[in-house]
Copies of this chain bind each other. A is one copy, B any other.
Amino acid sequence: MDFAYSPKVQALRERVSAFMEEHVYPAEAVFEQQVAEGDRWQPTAIMEQLKDKAREAGLWNLFLPESEYGAGLSNTEYAPLAEIMGSSLIGAEPFNCSAPDTGNMEVLVRYGSAEQKKTWLEPLLAGEIRSAFAMTEPGVASSDATNMQARAVREGDQWLINGRKWWTSGACDPRCKIMIFMGLTNPDAPKHQQHSMILVPTDTPGVKIIRPLPVFGYDDAPHGHAEVLFENVRVPYENVILGEGRGFEIAQGRLGPGRIHHCMRSIGMAERALKLMCQRSVSRSAFGKPLARLGGNLDHIADSRMEINMARLLTLNAAYMMDTVGNKVAASEIAQIKVVAPNVALRVIDRAIQIHGGAGVSNDFPLAYWYAMQRTLRLADGPDEVHRMMVGKYELGKYVSREQMKASR
């Protein structure tokens, strides 16, 4: 449990914070305006400018622990930076640190072939293209990932892919050139060896972006959350990553750091919501007193502070465990933060909305949008329920064997 910010991390925090203050926060309104004008589904000029600035500032690919490709930071070191980036919905992309690209790049770094790295990892690392991850399906309960039914069938030296995916975030963005498709390839194998990950270029014939899915009315343009139909899509057999039937193996490796990133960003968003709540509560008055002095408002502020602090420490500790004992031993801790962080963020944001009154649910403040985004994180990458179940089982595992538990089902 040594997750003090080292001098190196402290220096990076200061640089990232300064960048946010100087460039990102002021760009939020510009970004919103550029999206609102013309075609919502085209990349914005402002984001490309931010990327240029961050690249110049040497704040690039900070998420990547592999130092030959990225910043070489451990999870413990990167987490405090992700928190800062998370304080803005446009805060991660300037640093080339936004999901789902980060996860996809990690997959390619760890499991990609030389060819795959050259073709897809390099432009992703350079921020020239973006990517998507096609896993969740509309037709089944995706909380149980083994429910996935989209098929990829080997035909000679090709895969023939058919199926429907959704929540394929980022696929609406024209910069998205590559998708990692996960689907059923080996239906007769043991349960967790039936699925594979296959690289599918977005422009492959048969790949159809059906529609962007809104989240509480927000389309999240130009990123977007796509429903994607794969209709007789053909890609070379070599596009499979790591090998047939190894989809879940890769997914496990992919998810750990991704959760740290997501959770720290949630905490960063919660921190900013708390800041807005405090500022509003001292700047508006009712019944002759500032809002901060009325009823339980101060308690809500205090509860928010406590919950944020606890969520941060829990996440840092999970990051520290991942760095020191590995994702597998840290499985319960990773599941814990996946439940805790978005729920804390939602509670804090909801309190902030309430203290802002009508302004809180409108778009004059970012709170309602943040709420919508955080709400999806109680579902994305597995719903709360699945992670809670895992934490509970892990706990019981201290007292009964896995076999005894299964027998009692």
**Residues on A close to B: CB < 8 A?**
1-5, 136, 138, 140-144, 147, 166-167, 213-219, 274-275, 278-279, 281-282, 284-287, 289-299, 301-303, 305-306, 309-311, 313-314, 316-317, 332-333, 336, 339-340, 353-354, 357-364, 368-369, 371-372, 375-376, 378-380, 383-385, 388-396, 398-400, 404-405, 408-409
Inter-chain CA distance A140–B280, complex, in Å, is 11
Question: 20 additional contacts, CB 8 Å, given A305-B391, A305-B394, A354-B378?
Answer: A1-B316, A141-B357, A142-B358, A144-B285, A144-B287, A147-B285, A147-B286, A215-B361, A216-B218, A216-B372, A275-B399, A298-B393, A299-B385, A299-B389, A301-B391, A302-B339, A309-B314, A310-B314, A313-B317, A354-B383
Copies of this chain, count = 4
What's the least CB distance linking A276 to chain B, in Å?
10
Residues of chain B lying within 8 A (CB to CB) of residue A310: 310-311, 313-314, 340
Contact of A354 among B140, B303, B359, B379 (CB under 8 A): B379
User: Can you show 15 pairs from A to B with CB atoms below 8 A apart?
Assistant: A1-B3, A1-B313, A144-B287, A166-B358, A213-B358, A213-B362, A215-B217, A216-B371, A217-B372, A295-B389, A298-B388, A298-B389, A302-B390, A302-B391, A353-B375
A339 contact set on B, CB distance < 8 A: 302, 306
B385 and A295: CB pair below 8 A?
yes
Query: Which single residue of chain B is at the shortest CB-CB distance from A391?
Result: B302
